[in-house]
Structure 1
């Protein structure tokens, strides 16, 4: 594209928007929690797994209609994709409106966002929700709570 002085402008280096990266990371988090492959998610949306990879990395921006489809397939409200957005990106650090609307707990001391993205955490959550008996699931939850240090 010509500049004001008649010369050519250097092509701008394309970097994903931090917001697109955040939203893509939330897609990946939910997909992983559900134990769903990129291929299976792509099939549900009529996309290739490569397109899902690009969404998850934030390389491709997710449009409103696609975000709506993702929320239905992943069974989360659209706001889920924007939860825990850093303050620097216009988020509330996970303590504002989204927390009030969805009834989410405040972030605990010593518990950072990285913990949620560890494979061990995701596998634990998936295994927990595969327990079909609600009473057994509650006993497992109480057992885990009893093993943690007192506040």
Structure 2
């Protein structure tokens, strides 16, 4: 059975890898493992050791703490209804939207954010 922390860390690895435009193969080669192991980490099937998480964080240019961000919020909201898909980080459209959003210059991005907020409140 998957442990919720392993699932959360795996989702954060996938999220960061995808935001960087890094493939599973590229990440695996950079940390010296096979891409199948990255797949297992990202699904929470296998736990990531501390040293391996350290290596992954270095390759993806984040602090190790990045992989644990939002963990307590996820646990608090477990079982509570919301308007988001069950796992927003596995939704390719959502991740593509995020990547595109952060490619926009900051001042334009802020205006787009405000527009999206107004449209969602009107819906």
Task: Give the TM-score band, short-chain normalised.
Answer: 0.7 to 0.9
Aligned to 2:26: 40
Aligned to 2:47: 61
**Structure 2: unaligned runs, 5 residues or longer:** 77-81
Greater RCO, CA 8 A, separation 6+: 2
The CA RMSD measured in Å over matched residues stands at 3.0
Structure 1's 122 and 66: CA in aligned 2 closer, same or farther, altered over 3 A? same
**Structure 1: unaligned runs, 5 residues or longer:** 1-14, 86-91, 97-108
User: Quick check: 1:137 aligned with 2:109?
Assistant: yes
TM-score normalised by structure 2 residue count: 0.73
In 2, the alpha carbon distance for the partners of 1:124 and 1:137 equals 12
In the alignment, which of 45, 49, 52 is matched to residue 35 of structure 2?
49
User: Quick check: 1:114 aligned with 2:87?
Assistant: yes
In the alignment, which of 73, 90, 100 is matched to residue 93 of structure 1?
73
- Displacement of 1:125 in angstroms is 0.1
Which 4+ stretches in 1 moved above 3 angstroms? 15-18, 109-113
Aligned to 2:70: 84
In 1, the alpha carbon distance for the partners of 2:86 and 2:61 equals 21
3-state SS, counterpart of residue 52 of structure 2: helix
In 2, the alpha carbon distance for the partners of 1:53 and 1:95 equals 23
Structure 1's 147 and 113: CA in aligned 2 closer, same or farther, altered over 3 A? same
In 2, the alpha carbon distance for the partners of 1:71 and 1:113 equals 25
Q: Is this contact kept in 2: 1:83–1:94, CA < 8 A?
A: no
3-state SS, counterpart of residue 65 of structure 1: helix
- Displacement of 1:141 in angstroms is 2.2
Q: Is this contact kept in 2: 1:39–1:49, CA < 8 A?
A: yes
- Displacement of 1:28 in angstroms is 1.4
Per-residue deviation, residues 5-56 of structure 1 (Å, max 9, x unmatched)? xxxxxxxxxx443432332222112222333211121122222211211221
